[in-house]
Structure 1
Amino acid sequence: MASGRVSPGAPGIPARWTSSAKSGVGTALSPASRVWFTLSHGILNEIYYPRVDRACTRDFGLIVTGPDGYFSEEKRHAQHLITPFEKGVPAYCLTNTATDGAYRIEKRIVTDPLRSSVLQEITFTPLKGLAGDYNVYALLSPHLFNCGMGNTAWTGDYKGTPMLFATGRDGVSLALACSLPWLCHSAGYAGFSDGWQQLSQNGALDPDCQRAEDGNVSLTGQIGFSAESNRACLSLGFAQSPEEAGYNALASLMAGFDAAAKPYVAGWRDWQKGLQPLDRIAATGVNMYRVSTAVLAAHRSAAFPGPVVASLSIPWGFDKGDDDLGGYHLVWPRDLVETAGGFLAAGASDTAVEILSYLRTIQEADGHWPQNAWLDGMPYWDGIQMDECGFPILLADALRRKGQLSQEALLSFLPMIERAAAYLTRNGPVTGEDRWEEDAGYSPFTLAVEIAALLAAADILDECGKPAAAIYLRETADCWNDQVEHWTYVKGTHTANTLGVDGYYVRITPPDTAEASSVSQGYVPIKNRPPGDTDRPLELIVSPDALALVRFGLRAATDPRIVDTVTVIDAHLRCDLPQGPVWYRYTDDGYGEHENGDPFDGTGRGRPWPLLVGERAHFELAAGRKDSAVSLLATFEASAGPGGLLPEQVWDGTDMPERELLRGGPTGSAMPLVWAHSEYIKLLRSLRDGAVFDMPPQGVKRYIEDKTVSTLRSWRFNNKIRSIPAGKTLRLELPARAMVHWSVDGWATSHDTETSENLLGIYLVDLPVAGLSSGSAIVFTFFWPESGDWENIDFTIAIGPLDTP
Structure 2
Amino acid sequence: MQAPRSALSHPTWAPARKDMVGTSLGSSRLWFTVAEGIVTEVYYPRVDIPQIRDLGFIIADDQGFWVELRRLGNYEINLPKPYIPAVEVIHRHARFTFILKICPSQRRDVLLLHYQLQGDTQNLRPYVLLSARLGGDAKNNQAFVAEHNGHRVLWANQGPFGLALMASSETDEVTWGRCSVGCLEQSDGWQDFNRHGRMIWQYDSAGPGAVTLMGELSSQATLALGFGSSMEAAATLAMSSLNEDFSSVWNAQCRVWEEWYKSCNCNVSDLSRDLQQKLALSSMVLKVHEDRTYCGATVASLAVPWGENNHNRGGYHLVWCRDLAETAGAMIAMGAVEDARNVLRYLIATQQADGHWLQNQWLGGASFWQGIQLDEAAFPVLLASALRDRGELGGISCKDMVRRALGFIAREGPVTGQDRWEEDSGVNTFTLAVAIAALVEGSIFLDEEARGFALQLADSWNARLEEWTFVADTSLARKLKVSGYYIRITPEDALVHEGAQSEHVLIKNRACDPNLPANEQIATDFLQLVRYGLRKADDTCILDSLKIIDQKLKTDTPSGPVWHRYNGDGYGEHEDGSAFDGSGRGRGWPLLTGERGHYALLSGNDPLPYLEAMAAMTGVGGLIPEQVWDSEPVPEHHLNPGKPSDSAMPLVWAHSEFIKLCYSRILGYPVDRPVATWKRYQGIRPEITHELWGPRYLPRHIRSGNTFTIALRAPARVHWGINSWHDAQDIDTRDTGLGVYVAELPVVGLKPGDTIQFTFYWLDQEKWESTDYEVLIAE
Give me the TM-score of the superposition, normalised by structure 1.
0.93
Tell me whether 1:419 sits opposite 2:409 in the alignment.
no
Change (3 A) 1:675 1:528: closer
> Quick one: distance in 2 between partners of 1:203 and 1:496?
63
Does the residue aligned with 1:300 lie in a helix, a strand or coil?
coil
Aligned counterpart, 1:662:
640
Tell me whether 1:354 sits opposite 2:342 in the alignment.
yes
Aligned counterpart, 1:744:
722
Select the residue among 232, 246, 251 that pairs with 1:243: 232
Aligned counterpart, 2:570:
590
Does the residue aligned with 2:304 lie in a helix, a strand or coil?
coil
What residue identity is the alignment partner of 1:434? Answer: D
Shift in Å at residue 522 of structure 1?
4.5
Does the residue aligned with 1:69 lie in a helix, a strand or coil?
coil
Shift in Å at residue 328 of structure 1?
0.8
What residue identity is the alignment partner of 2:193? Answer: L
Change (3 A) 1:24 1:717: same
Select the residue among 621, 631, 634 that pairs with 2:612: 634
Change (3 A) 1:519 1:363: same
Shift in Å at residue 760 of structure 1?
1.8
Q: Please show how residues 393-432 of structure 1 align to structure 2 within 5 Å.
A: 393-406=381-394, 408-409=395-396, 412-432=397-417
Tell me whether 1:500 sits opposite 2:466 in the alignment.
no
Change (3 A) 1:528 1:44: closer
Select the residue among 735, 743, 746 that pairs with 1:757: 735
Shift in Å at residue 326 of structure 1?
4.3
* Conservation of the 8 A alpha-carbon contact between 2:468 and 2:499: no
* Conservation of the 8 A alpha-carbon contact between 2:444 and 2:451: yes
Select the residue among 304, 307, 331 that pairs with 1:343: 331
Change (3 A) 1:373 1:211: same
> Quick one: distance in 1 between partners of 2:158 and 2:700?
58
Aligned counterpart, 1:84:
79
Q: Please show how residues 531-680 of structure 1 align to structure 2 within 5 Å.
A: 536-626=516-606, 629-680=607-658
Aligned counterpart, 1:268:
257
Tell me whether 1:214 sits opposite 2:208 in the alignment.
yes
Select the residue among 85, 109, 112 that pairs with 1:116: 109
> Quick one: distance in 2 between partners of 1:327 and 1:63?
32
What residue identity is the alignment partner of 1:367? Answer: G
Aligned counterpart, 1:452:
437
Q: Please show how residues 236-315 of structure 1 align to structure 2 within 5 Å.
A: 236-276=225-265, 277-278=267-268, 287-315=277-305
What residue identity is the alignment partner of 1:110? Answer: C
> Quick one: distance in 2 between partners of 1:528 and 1:290?
37
Does the residue aligned with 1:268 lie in a helix, a strand or coil?
helix
Which range is displaced more, 578-587 or 206-215? 206-215
What residue identity is the alignment partner of 1:777? Answer: T
Tell me whether 1:384 sits opposite 2:377 in the alignment.
no
Which range is displaced more, 82-91 or 108-117? 82-91
Aligned counterpart, 2:172:
none
> Quick one: distance in 1 between partners of 2:561 and 2:505?
29
Shift in Å at residue 535 of structure 1?
5.8
Aligned counterpart, 2:139:
149
Tell me whether 1:189 sits opposite 2:169 in the alignment.
no
Deviations 1:650-678 (A, max 9, x none): 00111112111111111110000111111
Shift in Å at residue 729 of structure 1?
2.2
* Conservation of the 8 A alpha-carbon contact between 1:553 and 1:697: no
Shift in Å at residue 780 of structure 1?
1.1
> Quick one: distance in 1 between partners of 2:64 and 2:441?
68
Aligned counterpart, 1:198:
192
Deviations 1:228-275 (A, max 9, x none): xx3210110011111110011111111121121111110000011122
Shift in Å at residue 13 of structure 1?
5.0
Aligned counterpart, 1:316:
306
Shift in Å at residue 728 of structure 1?
2.2
Aligned counterpart, 1:525:
506
Does the residue aligned with 2:393 lie in a helix, a strand or coil?
coil
Select the residue among 3, 13, 19 that pairs with 1:17: 13
* Conservation of the 8 A alpha-carbon contact between 1:43 and 1:75: yes
* Conservation of the 8 A alpha-carbon contact between 1:733 and 1:762: yes
Tell me whether 1:27 sits opposite 2:20 in the alignment.
no
* Conservation of the 8 A alpha-carbon contact between 1:56 and 1:145: yes
What residue identity is the alignment partner of 1:140? Answer: L
Aligned counterpart, 1:371:
359
* Conservation of the 8 A alpha-carbon contact between 2:62 and 2:198: no
> Quick one: distance in 1 between partners of 2:306 and 2:753?
57
Shift in Å at residue 64 of structure 1?
1.6
* Conservation of the 8 A alpha-carbon contact between 1:186 and 1:206: no
What residue identity is the alignment partner of 1:429? Answer: P
> Quick one: distance in 2 between partners of 1:272 and 1:771?
64
* Conservation of the 8 A alpha-carbon contact between 2:181 and 2:202: no
Shift in Å at residue 513 of structure 1?
4.1
Change (3 A) 1:468 1:297: same
Change (3 A) 1:690 1:475: same
Does the residue aligned with 1:675 lie in a helix, a strand or coil?
helix
Which range is displaced more, 726-735 or 105-114? 726-735
Aligned counterpart, 1:722:
700
What residue identity is the alignment partner of 2:115? Answer: I
Q: Please show how residues 214-233 of structure 1 align to structure 2 within 5 Å.
A: 214-223=208-217, 225=218, 230-233=219-222
Aligned counterpart, 1:166:
156
Aligned counterpart, 1:179:
168
Aligned counterpart, 1:783:
761
* Conservation of the 8 A alpha-carbon contact between 1:310 and 1:335: yes
Shift in Å at residue 352 of structure 1?
0.5
Shift in Å at residue 785 of structure 1?
3.1
Shift in Å at residue 617 of structure 1?
0.4
Change (3 A) 1:75 1:124: same
Give me the TM-score of the superposition, normalised by structure 2.
0.96
Which range is displaced more, 708-717 or 550-559? 708-717
Tell me whether 1:483 sits opposite 2:464 in the alignment.
yes
Which range is displaced more, 441-450 or 68-77? 68-77
* Conservation of the 8 A alpha-carbon contact between 2:142 and 2:157: yes
Unmatched 5+ residue regions in structure 1? Answer: none
* Conservation of the 8 A alpha-carbon contact between 1:278 and 1:346: no
> Quick one: distance in 2 between partners of 1:597 and 1:447?
35
Shift in Å at residue 781 of structure 1?
1.1
* Conservation of the 8 A alpha-carbon contact between 1:576 and 1:582: yes
* Conservation of the 8 A alpha-carbon contact between 2:140 and 2:158: yes
Shift in Å at residue 792 of structure 1?
2.2
Deviations 1:122-160 (A, max 9, x none): 00112xxx3231232100011112222221111113321
What residue identity is the alignment partner of 1:178? Answer: A
- Two-structure CA RMSD over aligned residues (Å): 1.9
* Conservation of the 8 A alpha-carbon contact between 2:3 and 2:182: yes
What residue identity is the alignment partner of 2:207? Answer: E
> Quick one: distance in 1 between partners of 2:10 and 2:476?
48
Which range is displaced more, 698-707 or 684-693? 698-707
Change (3 A) 1:535 1:708: same
> Quick one: distance in 1 between partners of 2:180 and 2:233?
21
Tell me whether 1:46 sits opposite 2:31 in the alignment.
no
> Quick one: distance in 2 between partners of 1:528 and 1:315?
19
* Conservation of the 8 A alpha-carbon contact between 1:282 and 1:637: no
Select the residue among 738, 750, 755 that pairs with 1:772: 750
- Structure 1 vs Structure 2: percent identity of aligned residues? 40
